[in-house]
Amino acid sequence: MNQAAKSAGIESVWRGGISPFAVSWRKLMMWLFIITDGLLFAGLLAGYGFVRLASPRWPNRAEIFHLDFIALMTFILITSSATMATAVGAARQGRPKTVVRFLLLTILGGLSFLGCQAYEWSKLIGEGARLSTNPWGVPLFSAAFFIITGFHGSHVLTGVLILSIVAVRALRQRVSPEGVELAGLYWHFVDLVWVFIFTLFYLI
């Protein structure tokens, strides 16, 4: 620990990248934020788990959702993670055109996911689901659904906005490889949260 600090010059100490975590301050901050935000979803999902376990019965999701459609949404979002990873890789190799192209593909994936979610919401609302009531007997079912997917959706929307800003900056060649990577970290996090929601809310 001492050795690393001593061998590094003042400037490199200032930007971080030394012990205990060899990352820059910006990336460290992003990781910390992701942990914090992850715990927010953990709180929401724990609350959902609590009310569901306390409920004598819980609606059958297979009758309410088209799980094939949800699986397609999941597939789209995970694919967008792959295109994001490609954009990060291209940024590291210094290929700005590829970066912009794959960022746009990622944004497209995010927007399609949001479109699917909007469709699903409007369908359920059309069937009479509200925050306080729904036709399937357990009011908290739709409450948990709207709050958790709504919160996740707002994160996806934020992600799309961040990616758009990064794409514009990449187009003007004003973004560092690390900037793309940080946006990518956030995007992967949002996707990972969806995997948990998909598993815990729709499948189990």
Partner 1 sequence: MVGEHSARVHEEPVSFWRRYIFSTDHKVIGIQYYLTAMAMALVGGTLAMLIRLQLGWPEAKWPLLAKIFPRGMSGGVMNPDFYLALITMHGTLMIFFVISLGLVSGFGNYLLPLHIGARDMAFPFLNMLSYWTVVPACVIILASFFVEGGAAASGWTAYPPLSAVEQAVPGSGLGQTLWLLGMALFIASFTMGGLNFVTTILNERTRGMSMMRLPLFIWTLLIASILGLLAFPPLTAAAILLLFDRHGGTSFFLPSGLYFGERVLPHSGGSPLLWQHLFWFLGHPEVYVLILPALGIALDLLPPFTRKPIFGYRLTVYSLFAIGVLSMIVWGHHMFVSGMNPYVGEFFAIGTLAITIPSAIIGFNLIASLWGARLQLRTPALFALGAIAFFGTGGLGGIFLGNATSDIQLHDTYFVVGHFHFMIGGVTLLALFGGTYYWFPKMFGRMMSERLGKLHFWLTFLSFYAVFLTQHFLGLGGMPRRYYAFSKFEFLAPIRDMNAFISIAAFVLGAAQLIFLVNFFWSLFRGARAEQNPWRATTLEWVAPTPPPHGNWGETVPEVHRWPYDYSVPGAPEDFTPQTVPPTVVTVTQ
Q: How many whole angstroms separate alpha carbon 141 and alpha carbon 40?
A: 19
C-beta neighbour count of 170 within 10 angstroms = 26
Helix axes 139-171, 25-54, angle to 10 degrees: 160
Could you tell me the smallest distance in angstroms from the CB atom of residue 154 to partner 1?
11
Could you tell me the smallest distance in angstroms from the CB atom of residue 44 to partner 1?
5
Q: Which of residues 30-59 bind partner 1 (CB under 8 A)?
A: 32-33, 35-44, 46-47, 50-51, 54-55
Could you tell me the smallest distance in angstroms from the CB atom of residue 34 to partner 1?
11
Tokens 């597939």, residue located: 75
| Count of residues touching partner 1 (by CB under 8 A) | 52
Please state, in angstroms and as integers, the Cα–Cα distance from residue 25 to each residue in 52, 74, 106, following that order.
Answer: 40, 32, 26
Q: Which of residues 137-196 bind partner 1 (CB under 8 A)?
A: 138-140, 143, 147, 151, 176, 178
Q: Of 111 and 138, which has the nearer Cβ to partner 1?
A: 138
For residues 169 and 175, the answer to whether their CB atoms sit within 8 Å is: yes
Tokens 């927010």, residue located: 40
Q: Of 65 and 151, which has the nearer Cβ to partner 1?
A: 151
Tokens 């973004």, residue located: 175
Residues within the interface to partner 1 (CB under 8 A) = 1-2, 5-6, 8-11, 13-21, 23-25, 28-29, 32-33, 35-44, 46-47, 50-51, 54-55, 130-133, 138-140, 143, 147, 151, 176, 178
